[in-house]
Amino acid sequence: MKLSRAMPVAALITRELAGTLLLLLGVSFVVFSILRLSPGDPFSAAVSPGAKAGAAWHSQYLAWLLNIIRGDFGASTRSGRNVLDELARVGVNTLFLTAGSMLVTLSISVPIAILSARRGPTPVNRFLTMFAYVISAVPAFWMGYIVIYIFTRKLGLFPLAFGFSSGERLGWLYFVLPIIVLGAGNGTVSEIARHLRQELLRVFSEDYIRTARAKGASVWRHSFKEGLLIPVSEIIASKIPFILGGAVVVEQVFNWPGMGRLAWQAAGDRDYPILMGIAIFAAAFVRLGALAQRTIYIMVHPRASKERPR
Amino acid sequence: MDVPVIEVKDLKTYFRTARGIARAVDGVSFSIPKGGTFALVGESGCGKSLTALSIIQLVPEPAGFHAGGEIFLNGREITKLPEREKRELRGNKISMIFQEPMTSLNPVFTVGYQTVETIRLHQKKSAPEAKAAALEMFAKVGLPEPEALFDEYPHRLSGGMRQRVMIAMALACRPDLLIADEPTTALDVTIQDQIIRLIKDLKDSMRMAVLLITHNLALVYRNAENVCVMYAGKVAEMSPTEELFRNPMHPYTVKLLRSIPGYEKRGLMLDTIPGSVPPATGYPAGCRFSGRCPREMEGCASIEPELVERAPGHLVSCHLHDPEFMSKPYSKPLKHEPDKLPPVPGPIAEKTPLLDVRNLKTYYPVRKGLLKRVRGYVKAVDGIDLTIAKGMTLALVGESGCGKTTAGKSIIRLIRPDDGEIVFKGTDIFGLSERALKPMRSKAQIIFQDPYSSLNPRLMVRDTIEEGLKTLKPGMGRPARLERIAQVLERVGLTPEMMYRYPHEFSGGQRQRIGIARALAVDPEFIVCDEAVSALDVSVQAQILNLLKSIQRDTGISYLFITHDLAVVEYIADEVAVMYMGHIVERGNTEAIFSNPTHDYTKKLLNAIPKLPPGMTWKLPGKH
């Protein structure tokens, strides 16, 4: 007798995906409303040339939405280029920056959390915790300028240009620096370390960890999923918006041609098609992070498929 | 004679705390032979569980540490082994099962995986071999359909089944010693009985030694060959079981035994132990029981007694049995506690009807699907009839999930029942609105099980009690309210000044007294006691039962006692209703039901409780 699951994992994930689509629809409407309500009806002028100026709002929205579904986000008012192309060009850079900096954040905070959860408040752990607090307190833009000052002005290691293509000997360093600055300076290192440590301590004090120890098993194997995997996935999902926000600043400081800098410029130029495209992509990105986190949770936790004990 | 499986010699386990060194286990020695069962008993905080954790080398570090003594497993000293070798012993030579089967299994692994893991950690077996061994163990512990259960996660199993999995896991490597720390306390009586029998059968077939830790003395009497009574980190008394129950020598043991409720003690006050176990950071210099002892002598607080064999195999640590001490002038008694238990004072109320419940039904809707539509009902209470007379106690008994708590809450309308009649003092309150219910709210109160979580930690005792008075006795002015609070606190054995303290400053028993004071403050005629004494130590439980009983005699109050503890029922209830799956299957006079149960379920329930033989009475040692 194999007991059937009340709701299979795949069905749950499908349900989450459907929720994501509904949410994106809502975001598109909010973005539309904001622009539509801006003075001067820029919407009719720029975004949706197909819809007549002064037409009823719902027909404008519908026309715009249909265009989006077809993949047509309109053209940038500044460069005249297709919005989707522009976004694709800079999106990769931003993805690289955010994913990389998340990795940096985690590689600082996870070891600190594990060490202090396992060993208690030893002098080394106190120092590490202090270190995490200090780098979290430093704002990213300030840290960015300091780094540029040291590496460019004092050491003269590389010019203020982006990427490998510059041909400089230490060009790769310029590629890595913004990632490290955003990863360390986004203000979340100490928060994540503290949260993870608490989760680990909570799991270590669970009865089933006592059972694991009593049977001579590894405490790590029994605490990894619950104490590390789930909290880390939660953190990644919940910090994505902050890191996107941080990317706007760091991309400015480092002249990094990413979505944040594009958004900054577009806001200055009132380039509405670009802004709307970015808003929708950012929302989708954040939501996808949450979706990934839910998926991990459902896969790890047999109980997430809401069923009764028999 | 063989080498004992486990031999503990002068074991000391201490803790570093903010208040200094806590001597939690302070010089304990005993041994268990192959195939033997040894029981450790005592109040909570006496060091029973820590003794067990010390044996399996799992004392919580770094606060706790091994402060002295030796532990021999089959003649080999194990306290100084390196951690790697200790890990090889755990789960292999020494196994342990715990009190909480609901949380002791890892929720993210299947029960099969967790059992196989234990086997493969300690034995060189391939995965299929280990699986076969695990399935064999599952069958041995009586799990139905081992193959199907193998891939299940713990949350799909009931508490009894999880405890069976725990036992299967613990015994998978055929350990020499099984430590069972309150293995049945969290389970229903019928399941308790099954689990205890299972441990016993497996012990006999595998020839292992069992260290049983429990506060249930009847369980000890039925299952252990030897008992050790621990008090404040030390052995107070140790003896073969039969000898200890027939001839207890330590006043503490006698007090413990006399505080167990039971049929023979009906109408009498239960014996209680005043005060609480001293903190492990500050024991008295002399006998650790001094200050609470009913036979204390002048020298007891300053001279420490030694554990000496006073009868064959019977060791006791008490000056009363030391002829040399008793010949000295400091053996002058300080107290003269009478040996006989006094009857509960006050007259028994006349039988006038108070509450009449007819055909009460409470259903919980089961919602499913995207729109959360009602797809069915859980019939928690499915048509029950009850009557309670003034000044009487009705016990509602049954296993967890039978609907007894829902019934209790429905009767006082904390939950809205779906059908029936609840006639309370002549009025049917079934359909009354909240506003119309208000006069009745002060007349019917409830006390909950958990004295730790049922008080708001941010409210002073005064505020907790005053809250009810403000709403239910609106005519009362503030000075009158404060006077009333002081009065009820005194009634439950606390002092009026305690109203300015917060819940965390009280012990479990004191908190339950606060709960009772809160209920009493509004002058009720009826109290629902929902497992009100189940979470308490036996000596504290006795205090609370005495209190409830004497309040009843004073005020003519009626109780609905919801419990699964049949010893308590026997002692306190006038009538019993046995509940099973939402129905009352049998009800009647307590004596009639206990001596002559008619329903099969009642018989099963009564057979499952471990009992001491009738006619056992205990006298305090020494002359007086």
| pLDDT value at residue A6 | 45
Q: Is B280 helix (H, G, I), strand (E, B) or coil?
A: coil
Q: How many residues does chain B have?
A: 624
| pLDDT value at residue A149 | 83
Residues A103 and A210 in one domain: yes
Rounded to the nearest integer, the mean pLDDT of chain B is 90
Nearest-angstrom CA–CA distance, A224 and B219: 39
pTM for the whole structure = 0.82
At residue B336's C-alpha, the angle toward residues B508 and B312, to 5°, is: 85
Closest CB from B104, B157, B158 relative to A211: B104
How close B90 gets to chain A, by Cα (Å)? 5
| pLDDT value at residue B77 | 95
**Residue B405 pLDDT > 70:** yes
Task: Summarize the confidence of residues B389-414 as an average pLDDT.
Answer: 91
Contact (CB<8Å) A222/B109: yes
Contact (CB<8Å) B98/A210: yes
**Residue B621 pLDDT > 80:** yes
Q: Does B162 touch chain A (CB under 8 A)?
A: no
Nearest-angstrom CA–CA distance, B316 and B310: 7
- Those residues of chain A that have pLDDT short of 70 are 1-9, 39-55, 156-174, 303-310
Q: Does A126 touch chain B (CB under 8 A)?
A: no
Closest CB from B62, B91, B158 relative to A215: B91
Nearest-angstrom CA–CA distance, B186 and B195: 12
Phi, psi of B113 (to 5 degrees): -55, -45
Q: How confident is the model over B528-548, as pLDDT tens digits?
A: 999 888 878 888 889 899 999
Residues A207 and A255 in one domain: yes
Q: Where is average pLDDT lowest: A24-28, A61-65, B220-224, B323-327?
A: A61-65
| Selected residues 82-121 of chain B with any CB under 8 Å from a CB in chain A | 87-92, 95-96, 98, 100, 103-109, 117-118, 121
CATH number assigned to the domain comprising residue A174: 1.10.3720.10
For B155, which residue in chain A has the nearest alpha carbon?
A: A309
Omega into B62 within 30° of 0, i.e. cis? Answer: yes
Residues A25 and A100 in one domain: no
Contact (CB<8Å) B109/A215: no
Contact (CB<8Å) A3/B157: no
Residues A182 and A69 in one domain: no
Q: Sorting pLDDT into bands at 50, 70 and 90, what band is B63?
A: confident
Closest CB from B90, B106, B156 relative to A214: B90
Residues A62 and A103 in one domain: no
- C-beta separation of B179 from B89 below 8 A: no
| pLDDT value at residue A299 | 79
Task: Summarize the confidence of residues B564-583 as an average pLDDT.
Answer: 91
| pLDDT value at residue B1 | 58
- Residue-number span of the structural domain to which A160 is assigned: 86-269
For B114, which residue in chain A has the nearest alpha carbon?
A: A212
| pLDDT value at residue A8 | 62
Residues A5 and A113 in one domain: no
| pLDDT value at residue A169 | 58
Axis crossing angle, helix A230-254 with helix A171-185, rounded to the nearest 10? 120
- Residue by residue, DSSP assigns B390-426 as TT-EEEEE--TTSSHHHHHHHHTTSS--SEEEEEETT
| pLDDT value at residue A164 | 45
**Residue B422 pLDDT > 90:** yes
Residues A259 and A275 in one domain: no
Q: How confident is the model over B347-398, as pLDDT tens digits?
A: 776 778 899 999 999 998 887 766 677 778 888 899 999 999 999 999 999 8
Residues A265 and A280 in one domain: no
B578 contacts: CB under 8 Å, gap ≥ 6:
B397, B398, B584, B585, B586, B587, B593, B599, B601, B602, B605
Q: Taking CB atoms and an 8 Å cutoff, what residues of chain B touch A222?
A: 106, 109
Q: 10 Å Cβ neighbour count for B15?
A: 19
| pLDDT value at residue A171 | 58
| Selected residues 317-346 of chain B with any CB under 8 Å from a CB in chain A | none
Runs of H (alpha helix) within A38-82? 42, 57-69
| pLDDT value at residue A165 | 47
Tokens of B559: 């109780």
**Residue B67 pLDDT > 60:** yes
For residue B14, what are the β-bridge partners? B65
Residues A275 and A243 in one domain: no
Q: Does A302 touch chain B (CB under 8 A)?
A: yes
**How many domains in chain A?**
2
Closest CB from B105, B152, B156 relative to A211: B105
Residues A277 and A213 in one domain: no
| pLDDT value at residue B370 | 62
Residues A152 and A200 in one domain: yes
**Residue B433 pLDDT > 70:** yes
Q: What percent of chain B has pLDDT over 90?
A: 55
Mutate to test the interface with A, among B94, B98, B108 (most CBs of A within 10 A): B108
Phi, psi of B218 (to 5 degrees): -65, -35
Nearest-angstrom CA–CA distance, B343 and B572: 13
Task: Summarize the confidence of residues B106-118 as an average pLDDT.
Answer: 92
**Residue B613 pLDDT > 60:** yes
Nearest-angstrom CA–CA distance, B26 and B231: 10
| pLDDT value at residue A52 | 55
Largest Cα–Cα distance in chain A? 75
**Residue B128 pLDDT > 50:** yes
| pLDDT value at residue A28 | 85
Q: How confident is the model over B68-89, as pLDDT tens digits?
A: 999 999 999 999 999 899 999 9
* Percent composition of chain A: helix, strand, coil (DSSP 3-state, to 5): 75, 0, 25
Q: Is B23 helix (H, G, I), strand (E, B) or coil?
A: strand
Q: Taking CB atoms and an 8 Å cutoff, what residues of chain B touch A302?
A: 107-108, 153, 155
Strands B393-397 and B575-580: parallel
- Provide the ipTM: 0.78
Question: Which amino acid makes up residue A242?
Answer: F
Residues A123 and A226 in one domain: yes
| pLDDT value at residue A69 | 83
Q: Where is average pLDDT lowest: A255-259, B198-202, B310-314, B325-329?
A: A255-259
